[in-house]
Amino acid sequence: MRIHREGFKIILIATFLFVGILYGLSALESPPWLMALIGLPLLVLYILVIRFFRNPPRYSYKVENGIVAPCDGKVVVIEEVEETEYFKDKRIQISIFMSPLNVHVNRNPISGSVSYFKYHSGKYLVAWHPKSSTENERTTTVIKSEKGTEILFRQIAGAVARRIRWYIKPGDNTTQGEEMGFIKFGSRVDVFVPVGTDIKVKLEQKVSAAETLLAVYK
């Protein structure tokens, strides 16, 4: 299993803690039942930490004017909204909620150039809160395709996720499906597409980053 670089430090700390606690119990000559009572939950937690930072290979199947999912998770919002930061007009918002069990690598929904990027500090409301898209800590990225269509997406921190990472900046060229960032410990990503875009997903549908076709724009 390939591990994402964002997890190296945390996994190293978790390893020292896990081994240290077991060594301490052994040094104190704790009874086997106590070793099992403490050791087994710690082992499960340790495995979950490692699994959280997994980074499986993903391949984007190119569809003309296609927009792929930027993250793994479940579609929780598909609605027409007023996008107030960049476009300042009506857009269709597609929101994907990531649970702690999902892969948390974020990927570019389209190929093109980064025409806008901004980091916003903010609150840590639960990710499904209606105001989390505009009030939580977040990043806003806009990618312009070769044909001139711009797609905006936001990495949004939640009540637990307070570590957003991004690897792109204005002017960068992007390839659909490539890594653009990481959100630690659960949150969501919002994608804003032009009104009239052909939406290919449904509410409650589970999606995979780079591999699930979200929509096709005109």
Q: Is 187 a catalytic residue?
A: yes
Pairing of strands 206-207, 73-83: antiparallel
**Which of these is catalytic: 95, 132, 133, 187?**
187
- Which residues does the annotation mark as catalytic? 187
